[in-house]
Structure formats: structure tokens, C-alpha cells
Amino acid sequence: MTAQKLLGILKLIEAYDSKFGLQKNLETIKDALSNLASSPGQPQHQNTLATALAAFVAGCESLRTSRTPSQAAAIGEIGGAEFFDPAMAEKVTTSVEKNAMTPTVARDFVQDFATRRSTFLSTVRGARESLEKLGIKESALVAGSADVAFLIPRDIFNNDLGAFAKELNFISRLIQDFTEAQTGRAQPVELEQLSSSIPTVTLLANAGVISLVGMVVNKFLEAWEKIERIRKIRAELSEMGMKHATYDELTDQITTTISEVVEQSTEIVIGKYQGAPERKNELSNAIRQDTQRLFGQIERGLTVEFRAEPKASADPEDQKALEEIVNIAKQLKFPAVASEPLLLGTGEIIEGEIKVLKRTKKTTTQKTSTSKKGGSKEDGEE
């Protein structure tokens, strides 16, 4: 995480807490419980507690619908998951309801949580102030623009510089192909930021292009929920020693689902193409490969983050794309890294290119190389 991104997350934490009144209402709940513990017969304390509790629950629900999965992950990365989990409303409510006759128990629970949360917020505030004093500035988007960030786990390229370069080449080609499909011509990809802890490549591009990438990623993640259910059933069959036709049928269903999503995604991306007709088929094939590769890397841990800053005076089409990016960013929830990747395996990619997928008992990537005599041979042949 870069200093700029850290500053952005710290400011986001403070903004969410202030906007939804989370700590404020939590402190009110704590004080109301303390008053009830010492003066249980006072109805005003009950009213204060009920009002603060309702406001806290509403604030947590607003947090749930406002934060994106990537924001939640970033907050968790710096130790704030517990304190910005919408489920904390249920925990506090349950404690109060279960201990209605013994408010001291609920008070102690809420007091402990409120104190620890307050300490975390103080740390956040101090860190934010320190970064600002050091001259660090948040990477903010200009109104009417958007960007996309690819977070590449080191396991994908095993810390090999050449393999990392292939990942960068793929990302560049992906954006160029999508840009050509959207605008009719390929354009250079503009690098906005590059960070190294989890290698993150942030790119600026046309809002319509980023919106297309977001729609394709979202379509895959929606399909992946179905795939995960199939994989679970398949794993259970394997554990029971029942690897037979049903097991293979489930595996076929997974690859079929992916193929369908790849084709649907390709049609979406190429759908608005208005460039040279003779180029359309070639570009469609390139996008099909790009999409297949993208899905395979997501299965292996790649995540993609989207940001957009709508602008009221923007072109209606651009404004629509920017709003779509904002909505997509709130929906994306990436899967855990698969222990047995189905789409792409380590070493199955030559110079970032995907060759024909061929089904045997499991999905493999068929690679082709050229012999010195000018013929071709498949891997494994002598």
C-alpha cells in the first residue's frame, strides 16, 4: 500500500465514522447503559438508549451499502475490520437485548468495544495528520474521470521479473484491446500509479473503457458463485471416493459456464465497435483471449479496483459510464484463491498468450511451439 493510498483510506475511515455517527452513537449507548445500571427506574435513560441504538443500527446499515469490498479489505489491512464491520450493530443490539435485566453486563461489553474503537480512531487521526505534515497527498480523481487498479499477487509471478513483465504486458494489451473496441482505435495506456508491496498498477483510461472492464469482471464474479457451488459438490464427491461420470460432468459444467461467460463478455465489449470491419473478427479473438486470461488470473488471486468521480456537466454518455463504474465498484467481491486453479495453471502461458483450450479429464491449456525445421509440435511431444 502506497503512502497516498494509506492516506486515502485513513481519510475514508474518518469520513465514514463522522457521516454515519458510529462512534458518537456508540458512546451514547455506553453512557445510557451506565445510567441504567445506576438508575434502572429512569425512563429517560431507556428512551436515550433506544434512540441511540436505532441510530447506530441505521449508521451500520449505511456503512454496509456505502463501502466497497476493496475498501473493506483495505480497512481490514490496517486493523480496522472489527471497528468498521456492519455486523457490529447486531453484536451491540444482541448484548443489550440479552442483558435487559442486567445492564451492567451490556455496559461492560459496549464500553470495552467503544474504548478499543476510540483508540483505533485516535491512531487513524494521528497517522493521517502525520502523513499530511510530511507532505503526502491523497491520489484524488479529477471530476469526470475514472481509473482502474490491478492488484497482482506475487504468487502469480513468483517474484520473477520476467514473469511480472508479462503480467504488465497483458494488462496493457487488455486495456488497449478494450479501448479499440470502444473507440475504434488503440491508444497508449496511461500509467497513473505503481506500488510494490502487493504490486498494484493503476491506469487512467476512457470512462467507457473502464466501465466495460468492470462489467466483464462483475459478470465473471457472478458466474463464479455458481462455479464455487459446483466445485464444492465435486469436492464432496471426491472425498467420498466417487470420482466417476458425475464428477466429470460437474467439471464439464464449470468449463462450460466459463466459456459462456467469455463469449458473453466478448460480445458485450465488441458490441459497440465502429472501426474497420476487416479488423472486427481479429479484435474479437484478441478480446476473447484477454477475457479468458483475465478470468484465469482472478481465479489465482488477481483483484481489480475501480474508481470514478462523476461530474454533473460531463457528456451524458460519459456521465452514465462514470455512474456505472461507481455502482460496479460497490458490488465486486473477489473469490478466495483457488487451491486447484481450473482456468490457468503456472507455466501454462507463453509470452502472455493463451492458446486453444483442450479438455481431457481436466481443463488444460494447450501450448504450441515451432520447431527448428519449421513445423510445430505440442508440449510433451519429442
**The pLDDT of residue 372 is above 60:** no
Asked if 24 and 107 sit in the same domain, the reply is yes
Does residue 79 lie in a domain region? Answer: yes
Asked if 102 and 181 sit in the same domain, the reply is no
**The pLDDT of residue 347 is above 80:** no
Does residue 358 lie in a domain region? Answer: no
User: Distances in Å between the alpha carbon of 184 and those of 209, 213, 305, 324?
Assistant: 12, 16, 25, 21
Last residue of a domain, one of 101, 133, 165: 133
**The pLDDT of residue 125 is above 90:** yes
Average pLDDT over residues 117-129: 95
Does residue 83 lie in a domain region? Answer: yes
* pLDDT more than 70, % of the chain: 84
Asked if 290 and 253 sit in the same domain, the reply is yes
Domain extent at residue 225 = 145-340
Last residue of a domain, one of 105, 133, 161: 133
359: pLDDT confidence band, cut at 50, 70 and 90?
very low
Does residue 346 lie in a domain region? Answer: no
The pLDDT score that the predictor gives to residue 244 is 64
Does residue 128 lie in a domain region? Answer: yes
The pLDDT score that the predictor gives to residue 167 is 92
Residue 222 in grid coordinates: 457472478
pLDDT tens for each residue of 255-283: 788 888 999 999 999 988 888 888 888 99
Average pLDDT over residues 283-294: 92
* pLDDT more than 90, % of the chain: 35
**The pLDDT of residue 249 is above 80:** no
**The pLDDT of residue 345 is above 50:** no
Last residue of a domain, one of 133, 164, 193: 133
**The pLDDT of residue 53 is above 60:** yes
**The pLDDT of residue 368 is above 70:** no
User: CA-to-CA distance for 146 and 286, rounded, in angstroms?
Assistant: 24
115 φ, ψ (degrees, to nearest 5): -65, -45
**The pLDDT of residue 178 is above 80:** yes
User: Distances in Å between the alpha carbon of 148 and those of 36, 210, 245?
Assistant: 51, 7, 42
37: pLDDT confidence band, cut at 50, 70 and 90?
confident
User: CA-to-CA distance for 162 and 157, rounded, in angstroms?
Assistant: 8
**The pLDDT of residue 131 is above 70:** yes
**The pLDDT of residue 187 is above 80:** yes
Average pLDDT over residues 130-141: 84
User: 202 has which bridge partners?
Assistant: 149, 193
Average pLDDT over residues 302-327: 85
Asked if 199 and 311 sit in the same domain, the reply is yes
Q: Are 194 and 202 in contact (CB under 8 A)?
A: yes
**The pLDDT of residue 198 is above 80:** no
Average pLDDT over residues 341-359: 47
Asked if 297 and 246 sit in the same domain, the reply is yes
The pLDDT score that the predictor gives to residue 267 is 92
**Count of structural domains, the chain:** 2
Does residue 365 lie in a domain region? Answer: no
Does residue 64 lie in a domain region? Answer: yes
**The pLDDT of residue 57 is above 80:** yes
Average pLDDT over residues 68-86: 88
User: Distances in Å between the alpha carbon of 5 and those of 137, 266, 280, 307, 377?
Assistant: 9, 32, 39, 13, 48
